[in-house]
Amino acid sequence: MKTDPSFQLPHLDLASADVRGKQVGDLNAEKSYSAMGVHLNTVAGNEMLVLDAARRLPRVGVFGLNPGLIKTDIRSNFLNGNKFVFALVEGLIGLLNPTAEQYAERIAPLLLASELEGRSGLLFNSKARGILPSAGLTAPHTKAFLAESQALVARVQVAQPV
């Protein structure tokens, strides 16, 4: 698929370079649970996976996407099964944010752009604009987070019956 010849890579949005939740030590929320904390660990973990993969696998194009809030059923269990509150929240999200289809229409041309060739590790927001990696995700923190993630996966795999 060819991209629009007028397409240019977006400029970095310095204002969106933030520090996200990055709690090393309890990635599986076994010691304490906070829905937002777990969500932010997931966001930060995804960002670290992208940056680490881009560093370790230079021939593979790896990019991070942050779609923001999109109306889906993913939050259905988050509101304790309250269908009314869920419908209200998702309705508001649907009014104020792009649909999954609108997001796909916005991001697909970016991901197919030939200008991304050789630029692995870039991160993009919901409007397909480049964003900087979170400042708090230093190399030592990323290394600790990924090591803990690998240990967690190994522990869970051992616990699963064959």
Position 110 scores a pLDDT of 93
Position 3 scores a pLDDT of 43
Beta pairing, strands 64-65 & 130-131: unpaired
pTM for this structure? 0.74
Position 55 scores a pLDDT of 92
Cβ–Cβ under 8 Å, residues 140 and 19:
no
Position 43 scores a pLDDT of 87
Residue 21 has pLDDT above 80, yes or no: no
Q: What is the pLDDT of residues 113-143, one digit of tens each?
A: 999 999 999 999 989 999 999 888 888 888 9
Position 162 scores a pLDDT of 60
H or E segment to which residue 59 belongs:
none
Residue 78 has pLDDT above 80, yes or no: no
Segment 71-100 shows an average pLDDT of 83
Query: 60 pLDDT band (50/70/90 cuts)?
Result: very high
- Report percent pLDDT > 90 for the chain: 33
Rounded distance between C-alpha atoms, residue 122 and residue 131, angstroms: 8
Of 92, 86, 64, 60, the C-alpha closest to 73 is: 86
Position 107 scores a pLDDT of 93
Domain boundaries, the chain: 14-144
Of residues 12 and 71, the one with the higher pLDDT is 71
Segment 106-112 shows an average pLDDT of 92
Cβ–Cβ under 8 Å, residues 110 and 128:
yes
Of residues 3 and 151, the one with the higher pLDDT is 151
